[in-house]
A and B are shown apart, each in its own frame.
Chain A
């Protein structure tokens, strides 16, 4: 859930900053609307510029953007640090219009897929507490693997493999979606991601040799 935590921190801070800026601008705006309307017999200022004030202001803006860039870049790198220990590897293949999850570390190199019609959604089973490396590609057009609960997505390109690592800290089941428009059934191209305890994961990986449909765990 590293992605979710980091997203939460950055999104909260940027929302607060945005909120403060918005309030300040609206305050000046409302002052002008009420205090400077022609009905109040004000006279328009003749002052065409405030270069010194503006220079300080630009300095503040520049310092601020340096902070934002540096801090968020650091968070981005923190998000993509791979945890220690050998990862669980899952090869994800996307296609029009569903997903297939391949577990190369399973004795039978298990593949889980589905049709993404109705309730027939494939389930990506992963253990909690261990890094899970997803190797993401596509068989036809560009898709994008998005798990809103994890606050993360990555595009799946044909003839190219994108890799990223997830670590889930608690058990549960969440919905994943395709986020890149991919045609007629783009909107139903969903899957489940299910986090189970490492023991249960190992049992699942070992115990069902030859099982093509892993959706019913």
Chain B
């Protein structure tokens, strides 16, 4: 009797051997790899989009500067806005869902992993196609991230850059929709034993609300882009007002829910960080879950508040639905403040970013009520006031949530701790930078500076406010460079085996991802790292509290 030596195929049970190296990454059906690819791609794009923004801030630092010409400037703000919204903040949010949701619900993988991978490919391809516009003779697309026709038709915006923009955004958005579906399906259908809907971690709940909006609203963007593509083939369709205003309706039907797609996952990441570093259960969990769903539902009815000045929207109605959003938003603030006001606060880097989110996002939210008021919006829309508002929401808010999430989950994803000292420095530079950059913009808009101008005259008196803003941008640049250095250096040390190893649960986490190893194994949970009993939305906290009670009972008194 002869024993045949085991072949690779025998080891994998007859299945082909998965490739290793980079090919292994881009063909992996492991949700963790797809998640890291998505998040990593969007972080690289974040740096690129930041460079575009810094160029704009340099150009605007003083009146009548000619650092870049107007046509280049128009490309910069278009690709900065499009890149940040379609290809950084949205995909990062969905990518976090792809990575974290299966872990948080105790599943071994994501639903429809191949489709999820396809979603990533479409997203990455879309980003490459859009950026390829810079290589065309007339440059990249230059009509702003919402690209209204007829300005964006082939008569007023000739050049392949605009076509590539349409194709790129279409591909990336299709990818996002596909990933949204699989994440939603995962959280609904792959929950572990005992994981009822009201035991889902808040982050997973936020992904439900987020993915519902992705599925409900993002196809409207595809329709709008389709309309624009038809209009580039035959610009005469835009001789009819119905297609011009119709494009705006289609676009903003996507364009407002996407704001909350870029908000909920970061808000929920902040909520988880606040709870963990307050050493307590998140306060008002059920109210927050309900508010997310109400928020998501209302988000589909507010789009016309972007069109108050068109004279072709039902302003009273859109103002009603927009201002009504203060109710669910207020509930979320109630919970966040309740969590920290009854906590025992530890100020590690994730917590610093999460804490700063609270007052900074509030500025974005309160000014959001102002721009949701037609009488105020007539003056400030399309001015720097709106630029300030949206950057308070998306940068001083969501990006702080993003960094809180990176510092929080980095040890879980990589197995090593991210440097604390650089993290703190990064935090303070970012706080100074964000407020110094975006606060003066409120005043600039109020005083009459329109958005999307490549320069301004000296007599208009915008000079010193713009200078302050540009100085703030330098702080932001320094902070983000430190962050990149921190991440790359830590990963380099990990390769050399000198990095600080992360334990399974470095922070005293509440949710299931902290019960498995760092980084988690291929199927997330193993007999050595089983799924703990799911007793609430904070199962690990329950486990620790039970152990404390037992320890107290056993100790001699």
**Which bracket fits the contact residues of B?**
35 or more
Contact (Cβ within 8 A) B323 A186: no
Q: Which residue of A lies closest to B367 (CB)?
A: A18
A182 to B450, CA, bound (A): 12
**Known contacts A44-B278, A54-B331, A159-B240, A179 near B319 by CB under 8 Å:** no
Contact (Cβ within 8 A) B376 A157: no
- What per-residue 1/0 map shows which CB atoms of B219-258 lie under 8 Å from chain A? 0000000000000000000111100110000000000000
Contacts of B450 in A (CB 8 A): 146, 177-179, 186-187
* Residues 42-87 of A contacting B (Cβ, < 8 Å): 42-51, 54, 57-58, 61-62, 64-65, 68-69, 72-73, 75-76, 79
Contacts of B285 in A (CB 8 A): 48-49
A93 to B373, CA, bound (A): 28
- What per-residue 1/0 map shows which CB atoms of B360-384 lie under 8 Å from chain A? 0011001101100111101101110
Q: Which of B13-21, B47-55, B174-182, B340-348 contacts A (4 or more CB under 8 A)?
A: B340-348
A38 to B340, CA, bound (A): 11
Contact (Cβ within 8 A) B382 A25: no
- In the complex, whether A91 has a CB less than 8 A from a CB of chain B is no
Contact (Cβ within 8 A) B343 A11: no
A157 to B345, CA, bound (A): 54
Q: Which residue of B lies closest to A53 (CB)?
A: B334
Contacts of B375 in A (CB 8 A): 6-7, 10, 72, 75-76, 79
**Known contacts A141-B150, A151-B379, A179-B450, A158 near B241 by CB under 8 Å:** yes
Q: Which of B244, B309, B342 contacts A47 (CB 8 A)?
A: B342
- What per-residue 1/0 map shows which CB atoms of B274-288 lie under 8 Å from chain A? 000011110111110
- What per-residue 1/0 map shows which CB atoms of A127-154 lie under 8 Å from chain B? 0000000000000111010101101111
A176 to B306, CA, bound (A): 21
Contact (Cβ within 8 A) A57 B151: no
Contacts of A165 in B (CB 8 A): none
Contact (Cβ within 8 A) A68 B376: no
- In the complex, whether A162 has a CB less than 8 A from a CB of chain B is yes
Contact (Cβ within 8 A) B378 A151: yes
Q: Which residue of B lies closest to A41 (CB)?
A: B344
- In the complex, whether B359 has a CB less than 8 A from a CB of chain A is yes
Contacts of B74 in A (CB 8 A): 181, 183-184
A48 to B341, CA, bound (A): 12
* Residues 166-186 of A contacting B (Cβ, < 8 Å): 175, 177-186
A168 to B347, CA, bound (A): 56
A62 to B60, CA, bound (A): 42
Q: Which residue of B lies closest to A35 (CB)?
A: B341
- In the complex, whether B154 has a CB less than 8 A from a CB of chain A is no
- In the complex, whether A113 has a CB less than 8 A from a CB of chain B is no
Contacts of A45 in B (CB 8 A): 280, 342-343
- In the complex, whether B419 has a CB less than 8 A from a CB of chain A is no
Q: How far is the CB of A80 from chain B (nearest CB, A)?
A: 10
CB-based A-B contact count at 8 angstroms: 229
Q: Which residue of A lies closest to B455 (CB)?
A: A187
Q: Which of B287, B323, B344, B345 contacts A65 (CB 8 A)?
A: B323
Contact (Cβ within 8 A) A22 B362: yes
Contact (Cβ within 8 A) A36 B341: yes
A68 to B330, CA, bound (A): 15
Q: How far is the CB of A180 from chain B (nearest CB, A)?
A: 6
**Known contacts A25-B333, A47-B342, A14 near B373 by CB under 8 Å:** yes
Contacts of B151 in A (CB 8 A): 141-142, 181-183
**Known contacts A18-B366, A26-B359, A49-B284, A186 near B344 by CB under 8 Å:** no
Contact (Cβ within 8 A) A68 B369: yes
Q: Which of B190-198, B310-318, B422-430 contacts A (4 or more CB under 8 A)?
A: B310-318
- In the complex, whether B518 has a CB less than 8 A from a CB of chain A is no
Q: Which of B239, B369, B374 contacts A14 (CB 8 A)?
A: B369
Top 5 A-B pairs ranked by shortest CB distance?
A148-B448, A45-B342, A187-B453, A162-B311, A44-B280
User: What are 26 inter-chain pairs, A to B, with CB distance below 8 A?
Assistant: A7-B375, A10-B376, A14-B373, A18-B370, A22-B359, A36-B345, A38-B345, A44-B280, A46-B281, A48-B283, A49-B283, A58-B331, A61-B326, A68-B323, A142-B150, A146-B382, A148-B379, A148-B448, A155-B311, A158-B244, A160-B241, A160-B312, A162-B311, A181-B144, A183-B151, A185-B70
Q: A21-B366, A149-B448, A155-B309 are in contact. List 16 more A-B contacts (CB 8 A).
A: A3-B378, A26-B359, A32-B343, A42-B344, A44-B342, A45-B343, A47-B283, A48-B284, A49-B285, A62-B327, A72-B319, A72-B374, A154-B311, A155-B311, A157-B310, A179-B381
Q: Which B positions have Cβ atoms within 8 angstroms of A?
A: 70-71, 74, 143-144, 148, 150-151, 156, 238-241, 244-245, 278-281, 283-287, 309-312, 315-316, 319-320, 323-324, 326-327, 330-331, 333-334, 337-338, 340-347, 355, 358-359, 362-363, 366-367, 369-370, 373-376, 378-379, 381-383, 447-448, 450-456
Q: Which A positions have Cβ atoms within 8 angstroms of B?
A: 3, 6-7, 10-11, 14-15, 18, 21-22, 25-26, 28-29, 31-33, 36-38, 42-51, 54, 57-58, 61-62, 64-65, 68-69, 72-73, 75-76, 79, 96, 140-142, 144, 146, 148-149, 151-155, 157-160, 162-164, 175, 177-187
